[in-house]
Structure 1
Amino acid sequence: MGKKKEIVSPPDDSPAGVADEEYIRGFQLFLENYYGEHLEALLVADDPARHYSIDVEYAEFLDASPPLANLLYLQPEKLLSLFDEAVREAQGVTLMAHKQRQGMAVKEHVHVRLNVHGSAFECPETRPNIGRVRVRDVGRLLTLKGTVIRTGAVKILEGEQEYECGKCKFRFKVETMADLGNTIQLPSICPSEKHKPCAGNKFKPVEGSTSVCRDYQEIKIQESMQTLGMGSIPRSIVVVLENDLADTVKAGEEIMVTGLLFAKWRTPAPDARCDLELLFLANHIRKANEMKTAVNVSPHMIEQFKDFWQRFADTPFKGRNTILQNICPQVYGLFTVKLAVALTLIGGVQHVDASGTRVRGESHLLLVGDPGTGKSQFLKYAAKLSHRSIMTTGLGSTSAGLTVTAVKDGGDWMLEAGALVLADGGLCCIDEFDSIREADRATIHEAMEQQTLSVAKAGLVTTLNTRTTVFGVTNPKGHYDPAQPLTVNTTLSGPLLSRFDVVLVLLDTKNADWDKIVSSHILSEHSKVDDSDSSNDSYDIWNMAMLRSYIRYVRDEFKPSLTPEASRVISSYYQLQRRSAVSNAGTFLLGYS
């Protein structure tokens, strides 16, 4: 690209008009130095009426021009519009350098998108939570992280309209005002400068004039449950997506959005005070699955994992049991349940064949057991281990609360995501699974097996992703009878039970020796008395943070394959179950004996 041009920042005491030109010139030089290929790609694009984006790394811009980048944080609304003008100027310079090559044309509708990845805006210490956004942040450049819980319809709004004075026939353009709900506020007097201002006249829109329109969509994002403390209510904020950002996210996706905060007057109502509503105008959106920082596993942790398994190279099952012993340590024993919980959190491998048929890699777990067997403890601990989890109860959740609901907001219908959609890519924990209403159970069949959710409500027809692991807990109906099928003991239908890959039954056999061991373990946990073996380093490293990192590391790095021997065992077991007359013969029964 040749020698880079020096980017000169405007002086602080420059006049407003001169300063604006210097801002445009400074950013234009930055684009020519660092984004020459992007400018050429814009010139050769086909559709001149389409809105395009150019992603600018904020860290790179901060390194090239610190004063201009810092001013961008304080005055984003002004500078971003000037930077869009700078993109058009830079396109013209690039076009002249190519000597008006055929097929190239300057694109008028280009928007600068600031990618804050790797900058201070992305750090959790400097990134404000949605619940901590205040009026002092209005007009500043912010980065918020949250889960999309509601998506509205994409609308077409007028950006400006040409009007004519009914008396002096003076024509002028009026832009929509975001703080007034994207409405046009007409002046009280004619803005003509050649004649004496005409007062009290009506202004009429000019017929046949070309109005500037833009795509417009409102979504709502909510704080992640993992960032909230006990008893905190998750806060939400409305995010405005314009032009090429519209219709780029779906309900249930976790996103990091960069933009500026502005206040809008609410629609006035009779005998009600007129309040301001905080809205967030998005400039750049990045999805969670596109963030490399989502896997928070340091190289030091990976070395610890390798050293641990190196010590148990000859006895791998002993190393496995060491890890399982630190999963839900408040529950004594029950290694089979702990192994099932660990394997459920890690998941399997997703397969997509040539025809496009998708076989899910996530497995579902159901615990059925008597009261007091520690089912809810496993449920809560699994929610803490998962990087993304939603906890709910079957008794308090309707079909809309589990899947999706249609709500009316401002005269338009919108989709609001439920628990299964919000847990996309994570874990959905459902306590009292048998308390889900019979009419609502059919709605989660598709979500658990196909991992999609087909919606047809209030004229909104769409399909959402529910790529989540379901961990259900339920009590048997009365005392569990091993002689009866699982459907009779749990009052759950066969099709719903077939969605679960692992079903474990915990029985309280009232064994005196077992009760003595369990009571001693509970007392030692509460009195913080550790066994002599707990001083071993192999036990100390497996705390909550290390377990979360290990599960995330194994889930993302390892792609196991099925051996021929394992295939024969599974095939034989499947044939045996098909020939068996007992419908719950494949259910594990775990007792306190």
Structure 2
Amino acid sequence: MEDKSEPRKELAGFLIKYHSKQLESIILSPDPRIHYPILIDFAELMDENPHLANHIFSNSVEYLSLFDESAIWAQKVMFEDFKKFENATVKEYVHVRVNVCGSPLECPETFPSIGRVRVKHRGILLTLKGTVIRSGTVKMIEGEKIYECRICKHRFKVHPEVETRNSIPKPTFCPSQNCESTRFQIVEDTKICHDYQEIKIQESTQVLGVGAIPRSIPVILKDDLVDIVKAGDDVIVTGVLTAKWSSDMKGVRCDLDPVLIANHVRRMNELKSSIDIPDDVILKFKQFWLEFKDAPLKGRNAILRGICPQVFGLFTVKLAVALTLIGGVQHVDASGTKVRGESHLLLVGDPGTGKSQFLKFAAKLSNRSVITTGLGSTSAGLTVSAVKDGGEWMLEAGALVLADGGLCCIDEFDSMREHDRATIHEAMEQQTISVAKAGLVTTLSTRTIVFGATNPKGHYDPDQPLSVNTTLSGPLLSRFDIVLVLLDTKNPEWDAVVSSHILFEQAEPGKGNSDENLTNSWPLPLLRRYIHFVKGYFRPVLTKEAEKVISSYYQLQRRSATHNAARTTVRMLESLIRLAQAHARLMFRNEVTRLDAITAILCIESSMTTSAIVDNVGNALHSNFTENPDEEYAKQERLILEKLSCIDEFPGINMLEG
């Protein structure tokens, strides 16, 4: 047999040299029964000892277990310095977790997509990236059995085999030299159990080619890795590929299925919530707003032009998309109930008004997004489904759960079945999904922005309420912060402008995007960073002026709510606050001013079929960017404050007029 003492010494030396702090904290930890991880970087090991790093890569099963043994050995070497401490002990359950990110192993050969996993990858250190779509229950499995030879009394360990569903095979011969015995007995009181969990990861739809169906692979998590990920998490898993016999069900062919035994799991969700935006980019944002200090709305419009630049005009829709993606501030009221900060947007419009284009672009702007269509989404596909796997029921995440912390785009919202539509009520307002399926009773989190698009039922009738035109119920409509109606009315002037814009784009494609000047239009990567930065950096607070404007508007709407009774609820007040906070963030501020409150009112007015303030709301489809938005705003502000009968409380407005 090959002597492994030399590589064991080298691995222990590496751990003592680079990870003495982790070893020290493990030795001083009080509980000897817990499984402790030691996180190492493969790149670091490669610099220190390329020969050993190659062994760990090419002969992973043997050398990873050797690495775990060397961690125990390293503890024994260091233990002499910690004898005086009361809790100091050498821990038996230590696992070395290898992080390959940033190492030469980050190449297509060892970092393939899930659909490209083949037999050639078996036995090597493999890394896969995907989304957790199923998370099984945590079980206990027997880790090893110790057998004793009845003739030579030699004791040896036998480990379970994944291929035969974790059963421990009975040894056929004695591994001791010069002993050919086939008679053994199990040594009692040596049973070691491990935590065991199976999850399923699916490749991300963003990396797939045209028409490709996403593939999935089961992943086995053991000991300290169990329960660290849940359905909907984006993960990078490093482990060893092996095979496992599929369940022996009657009438089903028994096959060897690929399965990844995880050594290291890295969640990507935390990374997304804390994307490092370089200081020079933040400085660029601040510089941009310094330039537009005197004309802030002109600066805002420059940002909005970057949203879906291929669609001409539609200023109202672009503003609504920006405010929805940025969202307000979540808070907890006096009773301990969470009031959501995420906004929801619904576009109702005739065919060819660019609804789906906005959906696709919004998905690009969000760090985490799921796109689905109404007809293709059952209630299980939207929320969660119970699936039976190997005789055991488990939950599989749907679109809203997978989009937790991001954006869920639902196209053809009206084609969803009535039963399926009812399931998203709770997901939109309480941001949870309560499940009671197949004996699994739980609540899942859905802190997601819902962006829906739908066609009106037949010809849109302005005299009928929105619920009649869209066949969506009043309670569901009230959950949307903004509902924009895009009607394709025949307007010769507008048609001429739009056609010339499209023809210019065809003649000189991409000319607008190459412009580095931010005063014109922002490119997509910078826009995504800006939205992410303002969401995390600013927590706007309402000023007295903003409170007064929002309160007056809400009361006016309640008094005149006959046509929009379904939408003028307390939810509308919360929507106004969220939109005002989102606009303050968009304007790079930490306080909600009168400007933000009035912009929120204009958004809500655009989404009402009949207006309580503006006599002619106008078609959102024909809204365009104005040359002097600040002057335009001053007129709108005066008009709104007069309608709200609170212009006298803002003397600055009268002075401006004078």
Measured after TM superposition, the shift of residue 529 of structure 1 is 6.7
**Comparing 211-220 and 478-487, the one that deviates more:** 478-487
| 1:333 aligned counterpart, secondary structure | coil
Q: Could you tell me how far apart the structure 2 residues matched to 1:263 and 1:412 are?
A: 20
3-state SS, counterpart of residue 71 of structure 1:
helix
Which residue pairs with 2:534 in the alignment?
554
Equivalent residue letter for 1:23 = P
Are residue 526 (structure 1) and residue 512 (structure 2) matched? no
CA distance in 2, matches of 1:114, 1:562: 48
Alpha-carbon contact 1:120-1:126 (below 8 Å) kept: no
Say whether residues 1:480 and 2:460 are aligned partners.
yes
In structure 1, what is the equivalent of residue 69 of structure 2?
Answer: 85
Q: Percent identity?
A: 61
Q: Which segment is superposed worse, 316-325 or 122-131? A: 122-131
Residue 106 of structure 1 is matched in structure 2 by: 90
- 8 Å Cα contact 1:251/1:464 also seen in 2: no
Farther-moved stretch of structure 1 (555-564 vs 160-169): 160-169
2:79 to 76, 85, 95: 95
Give the match's secondary structure for 1:180.
coil
Secondary structure of the structure 2 residue equivalent to 1:153: coil
On the 8 A contact 2:82/2:88 being kept in 1, the answer is no
1:157 to 1:391, Cα distance in 2 relative to 1, 3 A: same
Name the CA distance, whole Å, in 2 between partners of 1:116 and 1:532: 40
Question: Which residue in the other structure is 2:655 paired with?
Answer: none
Partner secondary structure for residue 405 of structure 1: strand
Indicate whether 1:16 and 2:2 are aligned.
yes
TM-score, L = length of structure 1? 0.87
Q: Distance in 2 between matches of 1:204 and 1:417?
A: 46
Looking at structure 2, the residues matched to 65 and 309 of structure 1 have their Cα atoms a distance apart, in angstroms, of 51
In the alignment, is residue 176 of structure 1 matched against residue 160 of structure 2? yes
Aligned counterpart for 2:350 among listed residues 370, 374, 390: 370
Work out the number of aligned pairs and report it.
573
Structure 1 residues 538, 40: closer, same or farther in 2, change over 3 A? closer
Per-residue deviation, 1:258: 2.0
1:131 to 1:302, Cα distance in 2 relative to 1, 3 A: farther
Counterpart Cα distance in 2 of 1:195 and 1:93:
34
Residues 544-553 or 175-184, more deviating: 544-553
One of 35, 38, 43 as aligned partner of 1:51? 35
Report how far residue 390 of structure 1 moved: 0.8
Equivalences for 1:423-442 in 2 at 5 Å?
A: 423-442=403-422
Q: After the TM superposition, which of the residue ranges 511-520 and 496-505 deviates more from structure 2?
A: 511-520
Q: Which range moves more in the overlay, 507-516 or 408-417?
A: 507-516
The TM-score, its normalising length taken from structure 2, stands at 0.79
Q: CA–CA distance in 2 between the matches of 1:116 and 1:306?
A: 37
Is 1:283 the equivalent of 2:267? no
Q: Please report how far the alpha carbon of residue 408 of structure 1 lies from its aligned counterpart in structure 2 after TM superposition.
A: 0.7
C-alpha separation between the residues in 2 aligned to 1:151 and 1:464? 12
Cα shift readout 1:341-375 (whole Å, capped 9, x = no counterpart): 11212222233468753332211111112222221
Question: What are the Cα deviations for residues 288-345 of structure 1, in whole angstroms up to 9, with x where unaligned?
Answer: 2332797364455445444444443332212222222232123221101001111212
Q: Compare 411-420 and 528-537 and name the one that shifted more.
A: 528-537
2:197 matches 1:217 = yes
> Quick check: 1:524–1:530 contact (8 Å CA) kept in 2?
no
Please name the residue that 1:3 is paired with: none
User: Match for residue 11 of structure 1?
Assistant: none
* Deviates most, 222-231 or 273-282: 273-282
| Structure 1 residue ranges without an equivalent (≥5) | 1-14
Deviation (angstroms), 1:127: 3.4
SS at match of 1:520: helix
- 1:344 is matched with 324
Q: Which amino acid aligns with 2:539?
A: K
After superposition, residues 52-451 of structure 1 pair within 5 angstroms as 52-121=36-105, 127-162=111-146, 173-188=157-172, 197-198=181-182, 208-267=188-247, 275-291=255-271, 295=275, 297-299=277-279, 301-352=281-332, 356-451=336-431
2:11 to 27, 30, 44: 27
Cα distance, 1:465–1:554 mapped onto 2, change above 3 Å: same
Specify every segment of 5 or more residues in structure 2 that has no aligned partner in the other structure, as ranges: 569-603, 610-617, 623-658
Contact 1:344 1:365 in 2 (8 A): yes
Q: Secondary structure at the match of 2:490?
A: coil
How big is the shift at 1:120?
Answer: 4.2
Please say which of residues 236-245 and 117-126 is displaced more in the overlay: 117-126
Q: Distance in 1 between matches of 2:163 and 2:555?
A: 67
The one-letter amino acid of 1:25's match is K
- Residues 83 and 190 from structure 1, CA distance in 2 versus in 1: closer, same or farther, beyond 3 angstroms? closer
